[in-house]
Structure 1
Amino acid sequence: MLHEKLLDEARALEGEIVALRRAIHAEPELGLHTPKTRDKVRAALANLPLEWSEGPSTTGVVATLKGGAGDGPCVLLRGDMDALPMPEETGLDYASTVPGTMHACGHDTHTAMLAGAVRLLCARRDSLKGEVRFMFQPGEEGFHGAKFMLEDGLLGGEGTDNKLPDAAFALHVMPNAQHGVVAGRAGALMASADQFDITVTGRGGHAAMPHSALDPVPIACEIVTALQALVARQFDAHDPVIATVARIEAGTAHNIIADFATLRGTLRTLSSRHRDKLHAALTRLAEGIAAAHGAEARVTITPGFPVTLCDPRAVDLGEAVSHDLFGPGAFRRLDQPIMGAEDFSYVLEKVPGAMFFLGVAHEGADWRSCPAIHSPRMTVDETALPKGAALLAGCAVRFLEQGWA
């Protein structure tokens, strides 16, 4: 079978995949502008039959491979390139050389696996009908990089010379999931993520004379408590909602009542219906509680990533390819979504597709106890990376050959 050859070919590329991953890991970059990472990708894929395009908003690039066997559908494969603002404590020989910056979410592996998939697909270009677009994206860690690349027209669509892809696929490694196992689910895979800021304005004064002031602190505390009751009593438990107050600030000294208090936190939902409802309910609750005490509350909600919704057909395709490549039991359907967020959701709003998780815990280790993503001690078993490259390439080949059949 073609897919059996694909896995063998991917394993033959392991040295190149790992070398690229380590080079990116040692020089992590943040946000929308990752020029060193982009240049490493382009150098690793030089002299391949690719057309490259970039936009004005980011250092993201799209490489396009046109099949040599005629016209056909278009499939998008995505890998993200940015790191996190945190120190590394792995002690690896290729650990980050940039203080306070680390690839602790695995984007270095995502980029390297995608580059491996590029090589696999370029090697069979003559047999491909259609087109593959490889999306190397910065700014996933809260910077909306996928949204900017869409707006720049790098993926096609209105105002460009290209249509949007017909399907899209992405991988995310999980360092505390079983080595080599692929996981996914149809529908909501990951949550939307919005930020909120609430400022409660009262009237400052001496802490020994609270009756002559209007203390915003107990009002803020009441909002925190009421918010938890709101989530538990106004939202269906089968469509989960999370509202977390992560930071409270007020005052400058132990004997001063502050003029104002601020609350900051995150809102997570798995449906647009609950997302809109939660925004309105939070605003109503905070303003109402403050008004009841004669104070004012100003609520600001900053929209983040939407819900990551996976097309059932794409999940079926990924499961079939996983079985072809890795054998029975290689794919697991997740019972529940993950309440983290992912900006590949912007792509999936426009293009049917799916994201899958790939377990990269060290083979033979107790994977449940391995450091998770966003840990300064996170490591991956690099022998799993060829599997990720083969899976991405296999999804592209299967879709170009059979569509959603």
Structure 2
Amino acid sequence: MKIVYALLATTLLTSVAAAPPASNAALDARIAKLAAQEEAKVIAWRRDIHEHPELGNHETRTAGIVAAHLKSLGIEVKTGVARTGVIGILKGGKPGPVVALRADMDGLPVTESNSLPFVSKAKANYNGQEVGVMHACGHDSHVAMLMGAAEVLSQVRKDLPGTVKFIFQPAEEGSLPGEEGGAKLMVKEGALENPKVDAIFGVHIQAQTEVGKLSYRPGGEMASSDVFNIVVKGKSAHGAYPWLAVDPVVTAAQIIMGLQTIVSRQTELTSDAAVITVGMVHGGVRNNIIPEQVELTGTIRTLDKDMQQKIWAAIRRTATHIAESAGATAEVSIQNYAPVTYNNPQLTELMLPSLRTAAGADKVSMQKAVTGAEDFAYFQEKVPGLFVFVGGMSKGTDPATTAPHHTPGFMLDESGFTLGVKTLATLAADYLALKK
């Protein structure tokens, strides 16, 4: 029955959505023309930022470029929000609601393997070790596209019935342990206040989707992301005499295998997808010494709050009971990085015509939910939000041959950036017209 209801909902969503208000058709056309004129600038900004990436909470150079650009457009600017975040406020020529547009600015601790003329050679210290730094998820393009949208909207400000708030966010990829940052901190520091935001929109480039295409999903679009840590404590002994030990290595291995049955045997996967991955195993210092403890760290991805809580409980139960059966103990801690990226269904329905205006009706599609995560979700917890994927793969390319996000060979087709600019600006202008 859930499948039937989902199909009905999809049909209704498609059929009910109408065209943007007729009064905004001329403005949308002008926005499309201005966005096309911005292409060379947007590509140049993106290349510069790509060549000089910065890790989360350290985006000082990027923030400086953004702030200077916004000020040059006559936009009110606030810097230092959530450490390095930048907020711009563009007041339209008429009173009305407030809409926010968001881009993330941080790179990743990844050493780039591409041979681009603007390849990143940047280095930084991350978790106590020197690493390469790269925009391996497209945040450089997000910044450039939002800078382009700001310039477009600033040129039509007299026709905007309300206010546009531009949010350039640091640390979407997360902060170092013990360091707060990202969208959560921006919300805490008032990014959605003064003036109070009524709705927020964001886009994410997608290296496995063809340029010129947009995709979206109402409701749960991207998974929540949790980090779990399990410390297995046993008793040390010489490796030649394991009977004198309580071996945390073997116990940890049993826990790793036991965790896999939570998804495969304890979770109703016909409801929604779920993932449990152990990404780090630390323990021991020598080949013939059984250590005192082993530490496991991993990620949990869910698309439903109830399922999330059930998985948390199952991880605690599985780890502690397996450890107990071996005579060891397991200390389990779980921290939430990001909630479910939840596209407000009513807002999605309202703005679907705007997506079709920006890309063309045949270039907009509903996608399946993905188990990647986005801290844009923290904004969506406070105000209705819509998060859209923009194609960044060259036409005719097999997605299986493209480098995934977060990898050294990650690559984008820059011809897709204009659609991102147009989508952001069109969503903002149409929302203000619809809600004035």
Any conservation in 2 of the 1:4–1:325 contact (CA below 8 Å)?
no
Determine the C-alpha separation between the residues in 2 that align with 1:384 and 1:293. 55
Matches within 5 A, 1:78-157: 78-99=102-123, 100-143=132-175, 144-156=181-193
Amino acid at match of 2:52: E
Structure 1: gaps of 5 or more residues? none
Give the SS at the match of 1:363: coil
Give the SS at the match of 1:198: strand
Determine the C-alpha separation between the residues in 2 that align with 1:84 and 1:77. 22
Give the SS at the match of 2:395: coil
Determine the C-alpha separation between the residues in 2 that align with 1:59 and 1:208. 54
Matches within 5 A, 1:300-379: 300-334=333-367, 336-379=368-411
What is the Cα deviation at residue 46 of structure 1?
3.2
Higher strand share: 2
1:403 maps to 2:428:
no
What is the Cα deviation at residue 57 of structure 1?
3.3
Kindly provide the CA deviation profile for residues 285-344 of structure 1, in whole angstroms up to 9, marking residues without a partner as x. Answer: 21122122221111121221111000113323443112213322111101x211011010
Deviates more, 1:122-131 or 1:246-255: 246-255
Any conservation in 1 of the 2:232–2:323 contact (CA below 8 Å)?
yes
The structure 2 residue matched to 1:51, chosen from 60, 67, 76, is: 76
- Do the aligned partners of residues 257 and 368 (structure 1) sit closer, same or farther apart at CA in structure 2, a change above 3 Å counting? closer
Q: Which residue of 1 aligns with 2:13?
A: none
Any conservation in 1 of the 2:112–2:121 contact (CA below 8 Å)?
no
**What TM-score comes out, normalization by structure 1 length?**
0.94
Amino acid at match of 1:150: V
Identity %: 40
Kindly provide the CA deviation profile for residues 228-279 of structure 1, in whole angstroms up to 9, marking residues without a partner as x. Answer: 1122232211222211112223322232222112211111111121222222
Q: Which residue of 2 aligns with 1:243?
A: 276
Amino acid at match of 2:185: F
Determine the C-alpha separation between the residues in 2 that align with 1:367 and 1:319. 25
Amino acid at match of 1:394: T
Matches within 5 A, 1:258-337: 258-334=291-367, 336-337=368-369
Give the SS at the match of 1:5: helix
Any conservation in 2 of the 1:310–1:355 contact (CA below 8 Å)?
yes
Determine the C-alpha separation between the residues in 1 that align with 2:423 and 2:43. 16
Determine the C-alpha separation between the residues in 1 that align with 2:320 and 2:258. 12
Structure 2: gaps of 5 or more residues? 1-24, 124-131, 176-180
Q: Which residue of 2 aligns with 1:208?
A: 240
- Do the aligned partners of residues 180 and 191 (structure 1) sit closer, same or farther apart at CA in structure 2, a change above 3 Å counting? same
Q: Which residue of 2 aligns with 1:37?
A: 62
Give the SS at the match of 2:209: coil
What is the Cα deviation at residue 5 of structure 1?
2.5
Determine the C-alpha separation between the residues in 1 that align with 2:34 and 2:174. 35
What is the Cα deviation at residue 371 of structure 1?
1.6
Amino acid at match of 2:329: E
The structure 2 residue matched to 1:188, chosen from 190, 196, 220, is: 220
Any conservation in 1 of the 2:86–2:168 contact (CA below 8 Å)?
yes
Any conservation in 2 of the 1:322–1:330 contact (CA below 8 Å)?
no
What is the Cα deviation at residue 55 of structure 1?
4.2
Kindly provide the CA deviation profile for residues 84-121 of structure 1, in whole angstroms up to 9, marking residues without a partner as x. Answer: 11111111111113130111100010001001111111
Aligned Cα root-mean-square deviation (Å) = 1.6
Amino acid at match of 2:310: K
Kindly provide the CA deviation profile for residues 53-75 of structure 1, in whole angstroms up to 9, marking residues without a partner as x. Answer: 23453110110011112x21111
Determine the C-alpha separation between the residues in 1 that align with 2:112 and 2:133. 7
Q: Which residue of 2 aligns with 1:172?
A: 204
- Do the aligned partners of residues 213 and 326 (structure 1) sit closer, same or farther apart at CA in structure 2, a change above 3 Å counting? closer
What is the Cα deviation at residue 204 of structure 1?
0.9
Determine the C-alpha separation between the residues in 2 that align with 1:57 and 1:353. 20
Determine the C-alpha separation between the residues in 2 that align with 1:260 and 1:42. 48
Amino acid at match of 1:33: H
Any conservation in 1 of the 2:338–2:373 contact (CA below 8 Å)?
yes
Give the SS at the match of 1:177: strand
- Do the aligned partners of residues 310 and 56 (structure 1) sit closer, same or farther apart at CA in structure 2, a change above 3 Å counting? closer
Amino acid at match of 1:37: T
